């Protein structure tokens, strides 16, 4: 059998298309959106080479028109989950033994499919299922997911190339084995790219996976399975099961072959999963790898030396794009007294011009929040702020769920830097501002650092370089993704590897080789080229 050292094509970030009026990509995605909107689908469980329909099903609805039915998805029983585990473990031998250049070619092909013939469908599915504007869908379901697949291939090459030294007379090697069991991928609603990356990054490293997408994202998760199948992913490597999160999790997490968790979602759920893994530790064949990227309470801090317009724009985009439903969304801001009136005037001007409605009307910047549960939670914070004397709603605060789950971008001004909306993750279009006296800018950085349990993203704005240096050091542990004079959202694969610490996760940096390394178990091999034939060392004479 021939062999060689193979290098995947050098990855480049997928260009983001503009979708300007009259452009061919705009026409195509709108046509595809209408076709998909009017066609009901049934999403099966993908287990091994089978597509399984269960007795119990749930309907799928777009958040911006909840009376509309997109189709149904399955409610797996425990036996289905165990079948998914079995299918994964059966596929493992051949998949783990497959040369890596063959494995990654499947995902490189998948990246070309979603940036080519599937582009409009990937975008339309994400616009419909998660209520994203075309721009938010494009940077997520196409650009970021294609980037994950292309760059992960390159990261594997870098890891495999990392080899130990050999002294004279020996030949040392490092083998990067997949983990022995199967990986459980649990994904959130808010990014199709994360839903695609969490099951596939372990699979690219030779692992097999049981994947549970969010109930609010099944419609676009189904597109990912279609694409992976079209790209030639062998049956059983990734098995998608949907239904009750706790029922599925119990069957998976108590299984002796459970080998690792790749999770993105809220902090509470991650902590619950970690606890269940801890309780099951004696039952596992190996200690599971745990990667979890979780919640955030991301900040924008302004120094008096910073420019007003750039801060207001960062607030408008950072807090309200995709209705604040990004783990990185700005949700607390610290503004110096001398600048507040100007920042607010500019922010108000920008936010007042944001149109709200369904994503197929491309003049809308704000679309719906994901579900009735999210709507009720977010509006609960808004109503509480109306009552609390230390809070004042100075922008927005209106909402309506009669057709879709719509909430106007809302700004709360508080006199208490520890007010509840400065501390808790809301995951909606709500920004809380605390105005500090200019002379206390250093103390305000202490507040930024100490106010919430999270440490995901944050941004500082200043022109004074001594201040930038001071704040960068002072906030060293406040954010895993730290921005200077930029909004705290919009991390790009291979440019801003993503993840935070504290209550925000294990900081294993999706979009970098540090994530992939977690799905491998290295084996060090030493071969002696000249084995000794006598036990005596020279010192023995
Ligand atoms: P979520 O925690 O509600 O759900 C995430 C996943 O966990 C879903 O698949 C859900 O079905 C599953 N789940 C829920 N309860 C479970 C249980 N008891 N047992 C097992 N699985 C369970 O989160 P979401 O609403 O889908 O996403 C929003 C959250 O995700 C926010 O907290 C956000 O900050 C976070 N997030 C973080 C990052 C990051 O990179 N740090 C990225 C995106 C989203």
Cα 500 to chain centroid distance, Å, stands at 12
| Residue 39 clears pLDDT 90, i.e. is over it | yes
Selected catalytic residue, list 14, 77, 144, 327: 327
Rounded to the nearest angstrom, the distance between the alpha carbon of 506 and the centre of ligand 1 is 14
Say yes or no: 455 and 516 in one domain: no
Say yes or no: 363 and 439 in one domain: yes
Rounded to the nearest angstrom, the distance between the alpha carbon of 217 and the centre of ligand 1 is 11
Domains: count for the chain = 2
In a domain, 373, yes or no: yes
| Residue 396 clears pLDDT 90, i.e. is over it | yes
% of the chain exceeding 70 in pLDDT = 100
**Cα–Cα distance between 429 and 396 in angstroms, integer?**
10
* Burial annotation 485-501 (CB, 10 A radius, 16+ → b, else e): ebbbbbbbbbebbbbbe
Predicted pLDDT at 78: 98
The predicted-structure confidence for 241-267, as pLDDT tens digits, reads as follows 999 999 999 999 999 999 999 999 999
Average pLDDT, the chain: 98
Please give the number of the atom of ligand 1 that sits closest to the Cα of 498.
40
The predicted-structure confidence for 342-373, as pLDDT tens digits, reads as follows 999 999 999 999 999 999 999 999 999 999 99
Question: Where do the H-state alpha helices sit in 280-407?
Answer: 308-320, 337-352, 372-387
Say yes or no: 447 and 478 in one domain: yes
**Cα–Cα distance between 111 and 18 in angstroms, integer?**
19
- Largest distance between two CA atoms of the chain: 93
Place of tokens 């801060």: 311
Rounded to the nearest angstrom, the distance between the alpha carbon of 489 and the centre of ligand 1 is 18
Give the global pTM: 0.98
In a domain, 290, yes or no: yes
In a domain, 519, yes or no: yes
Residue nearest to atom 18 of ligand 1 (CA): 246
Say yes or no: 347 and 422 in one domain: yes
**Cα–Cα distance between 376 and 130 in angstroms, integer?**
17
Predicted pLDDT at 38: 98
Nearest to 154 by CA among 197, 218, 86, 108: 108
The predicted-structure confidence for 467-483, as pLDDT tens digits, reads as follows 999 999 999 999 999 99
Predicted pLDDT at 3: 87
Cα distance from N-terminal residue to C-terminal residue, the chain: 50
Predicted pLDDT at 439: 98
Q: For residue 41, what is the enclosing H or E element? A: strand 41-43
Q: What are phi and psi of 263, to 5 degrees?
A: -120, 140
Predicted pLDDT at 17: 98
**Cα–Cα distance between 17 and 21 in angstroms, integer?**
12
**Cα–Cα distance between 536 and 541 in angstroms, integer?**
9
Place of tokens 């003049």: 363
Say yes or no: 286 and 302 in one domain: no
Say yes or no: 240 and 389 in one domain: no
Give the pair of three-digit tokens for residue 359: 């994503």
Task: Confirm if 211 and 238 have CB atoms less than 8 A apart.
Answer: yes
Q: What is the DSSP string of 259-304?
A: EEEEEES-HHHHHHHHHHHHHTGGG-SSPPEEEEE----EEEEE-T
| Residue 101 clears pLDDT 90, i.e. is over it | yes
Which CATH number characterizes residue 403's domain? 3.40.309.10
Average the pLDDT over 425-450 and give the result. Answer: 98
Give the pair of three-digit tokens for residue 8: 């995947």
In a domain, 4, yes or no: no
**Cα–Cα distance between 484 and 475 in angstroms, integer?**
12
Predicted pLDDT at 390: 98
Say yes or no: 215 and 344 in one domain: no
Task: Confirm if 396 and 409 have CB atoms less than 8 A apart.
Answer: yes
| Residue 517 clears pLDDT 80, i.e. is over it | yes
387-392 long-range CB contacts below 8 Å, 24 or more apart? 388/419, 390/414, 390/415, 390/416, 390/419, 391/416, 391/419, 391/421, 391/432
Say yes or no: 261 and 329 in one domain: no
The predicted-structure confidence for 323-342, as pLDDT tens digits, reads as follows 999 999 999 999 999 999 99
Give the pair of three-digit tokens for residue 119: 């582009």
| Percent of the chain as helix, strand, coil, to the nearest 5 | 45, 20, 35
| Domain with 302 in it | 298-484
Rounded to the nearest angstrom, the distance between the alpha carbon of 427 and the centre of ligand 1 is 11
In a domain, 319, yes or no: yes
Say yes or no: 311 and 213 in one domain: no
Say yes or no: 122 and 157 in one domain: yes
In a domain, 329, yes or no: yes
The predicted-structure confidence for 51-73, as pLDDT tens digits, reads as follows 999 999 999 999 999 999 999 99
Task: Confirm if 263 and 96 have CB atoms less than 8 A apart.
Answer: no
522-526 long-range CB contacts below 8 Å, 24 or more apart? 522/174, 522/175, 522/176, 522/177, 523/174, 523/175, 523/176, 523/177, 524/164, 524/172, 524/173, 524/174, 524/175, 525/172, 525/173, 525/174, 525/175, 526/170, 526/171, 526/172
**Cα–Cα distance between 341 and 287 in angstroms, integer?**
55
In a domain, 25, yes or no: no
Say yes or no: 220 and 334 in one domain: no
Question: Starting from the edge strand earliest in sequence, which strands make up the sheet with 258-264, in order?
Answer: 50-52, 45-47, 238-240, 209-212, 182-186, 258-264, 289-293
The predicted-structure confidence for 139-190, as pLDDT tens digits, reads as follows 999 999 999 999 999 999 999 999 999 999 999 999 999 999 999 999 999 9
Nearest to 284 by CA among 308, 257, 261: 257
**Cα–Cα distance between 87 and 82 in angstroms, integer?**
9
Predicted pLDDT at 541: 84
Q: Is 293 a catalytic site residue? A: yes
Q: Is 327 a catalytic site residue? A: yes
Question: Where do the H-state alpha helices sit in 169-238?
Answer: 192-204, 218-230
Selected catalytic residue, list 293, 321, 346, 425: 293
Task: Confirm if 241 and 53 have CB atoms less than 8 A apart.
Answer: no
| Ligand 1 neighbours by CB, cut-off 6 Å | 186-191, 194, 212-215, 245-246, 249, 264-266, 269, 272-273, 293-296, 327, 425, 427, 456, 498, 504-505
The predicted-structure confidence for 229-238, as pLDDT tens digits, reads as follows 999 999 999 9
Task: Confirm if 521 and 178 have CB atoms less than 8 A apart.
Answer: yes
Say yes or no: 221 and 357 in one domain: no
In a domain, 404, yes or no: yes
Predicted pLDDT at 286: 97
Q: For residue 129, what is the enclosing H or E element? A: helix 119-130
**Cα–Cα distance between 240 and 70 in angstroms, integer?**
19
Question: How sure is the predictor about 2, in pLDDT bands with cuts at 50, 70 and 90?
Answer: confident
Rounded to the nearest angstrom, the distance between the alpha carbon of 212 and the centre of ligand 1 is 11
CA distances from 493 to 11, 58, 148, 195, 237 (A): 11, 34, 6, 15, 24
Which CATH number characterizes residue 86's domain? 3.40.605.10
Question: How sure is the predictor about 499, in pLDDT bands with cuts at 50, 70 and 90?
Answer: very high
Average the pLDDT over 97-102 and give the result. Answer: 97
């Amino acid at each position: 059998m021939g062999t060689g050292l193979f290098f995947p094509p050098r990855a480049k970030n997928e260009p983001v298309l503009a979708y300007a009026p009259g452009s061919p990509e705009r026409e195509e995605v709108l046509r595809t959106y209408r076709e998909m909107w009017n066609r009901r689908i049934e999403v099966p469980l993908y287990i091994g080479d089978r597509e399984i329909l269960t007795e119990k099903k749930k309907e799928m609805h777009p958040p911006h028109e909840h009376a509309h039915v997109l189709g149904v998805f399955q409610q797996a029983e425990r036996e289905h989950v165990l079948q998914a585990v079995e299918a994964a473990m059966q596929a493992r031998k051949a998949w783990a033994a497959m040369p890596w250049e063959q494995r990654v070619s499947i995902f490189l092909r998948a990246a070309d499919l979603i940036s080519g013939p599937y582009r409009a469908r990937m975008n339309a599915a994400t616009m419909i299922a998660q209520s994203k504007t075309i721009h938010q869908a494009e940077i997520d379901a196409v650009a970021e997911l294609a980037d994950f697949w292309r760059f992960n291939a390159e990261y594997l090459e870098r890891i495999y190339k990392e080899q130990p030294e050999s002294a004279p007379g020996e030949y040392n090697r490092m083998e990067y084995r997949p983990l022995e069991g199967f990986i459980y991928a649990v994904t959130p609603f808010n990014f199709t790219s994360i839903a695609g990356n969490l099951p596939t990054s372990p699979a690219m490293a030779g692992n097999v996976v049981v994947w549970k997408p969010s109930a609010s994202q099944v419609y676009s998760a189904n597109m990912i399975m279609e694409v992976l199948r079209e790209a030639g992913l062998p049956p059983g490597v990734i098995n998608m099961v949907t239904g009750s999160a706790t029922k599925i999790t119990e069957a998976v997490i108590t299984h002796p072959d459970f080998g690792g968790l790749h999770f993105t979602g809220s902090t509470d759920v991650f902590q619950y999963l970690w606890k269940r893994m801890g309780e099951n530790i004696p039952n596992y064949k190996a200690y599971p790898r745990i990667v979890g990227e979780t919640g955030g309470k991301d900040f924008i801090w302004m120094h008096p030396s910073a420019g007003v317009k750039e801060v207001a724009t960062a607030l408008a985009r950072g807090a309200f794009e995709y209705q604040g439903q990004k783990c990185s969304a700005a949700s607390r801001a610290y503004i110096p007294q001398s600048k507040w009136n100007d920042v607010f005037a500019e922010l108000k001007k920008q936010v007042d011009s944001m149109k709200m409605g369904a994503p197929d009307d491309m003049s809308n910047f704000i679309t719906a929040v994901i579900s009735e549960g999210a709507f009720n939670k977010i509006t609960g914070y808004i109503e509480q702020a109306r009552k609390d004397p230390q809070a004042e709603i100075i922008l927005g605060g209106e909402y309506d769920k009669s057709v879709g789950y719509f909430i106007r971008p809302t700004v709360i001004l508080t006199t208490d830097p520890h007010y509840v909306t400065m501390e808790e993750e809301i995951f909606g279009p709500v920004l809380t501002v605390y105005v500090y006296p200019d002379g206390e800018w250093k103390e305000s950085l202490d507040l930024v650092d100490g106010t919430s349990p999270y440490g995901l993203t944050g941004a500082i704005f200043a022109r004074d370089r001594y201040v930038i240096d001071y704040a960068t050091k002072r906030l060293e542990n406040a954010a895993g993704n730290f921005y200077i004079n930029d909004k705290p959202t919009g991390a790009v694969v291979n440019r801003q590897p993503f993840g935070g610490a504290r209550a925000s996760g294990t900081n294993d940096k999706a979009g970098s080789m540090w994530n992939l390394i977690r799905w491998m178990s290295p084996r060090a091999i030493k071969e002696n080229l000249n084995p000794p034939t006598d036990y005596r060392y020279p010192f023995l004479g």
